Structure 1
Amino acid sequence: MNIGYFSKKIRTDKSLTLNEDARSTEMTASLISQIDNEKVYPSLNSLEAIILYYGRGRDRKRKI
């Protein structure tokens, strides 16, 4: 299991969409999809944004 697997699992468990994640993490839906499907690995900044977003909930924006 890897980052992409957990990212996708958390998103689907919370009934979130790629576009919701993209808006809240300031990444593109395409990048998130590529991370989910193990085509790319997130940078440390992207990983931090994902962790902060999932840790805080769907209604909060990223503040780094």
Structure 2
Amino acid sequence: MKFREKDIIQFLIPPSLLLGFVIILSTINYIQEIDMSFEEIIVYTAHISPLLCIVSVLLSVIWFQKRK
């Protein structure tokens, strides 16, 4: 199975944008509810980022498979 550049872009953009938007909104909401210092925000983001990358890739794969 060969991938063209256009396929890869279409494959990554929609789930990643959706996931990114949800992450930003939930993070803003979380920070507003709990008064966090800047260092705590960085630690929280560092802990959650790898998990979010994995979820984003999985969503991309599922989304791409459904489009075929």
- State the TM-score, normalized to the length of structure 1: 0.30
Q: Report which of the two has the higher share of helix.
A: 2
Larger radius of gyration: 2
Q: Which has the higher contact order (CA 8 A, sep 6+)?
A: 2
- State the TM-score, normalized to the length of structure 2: 0.29
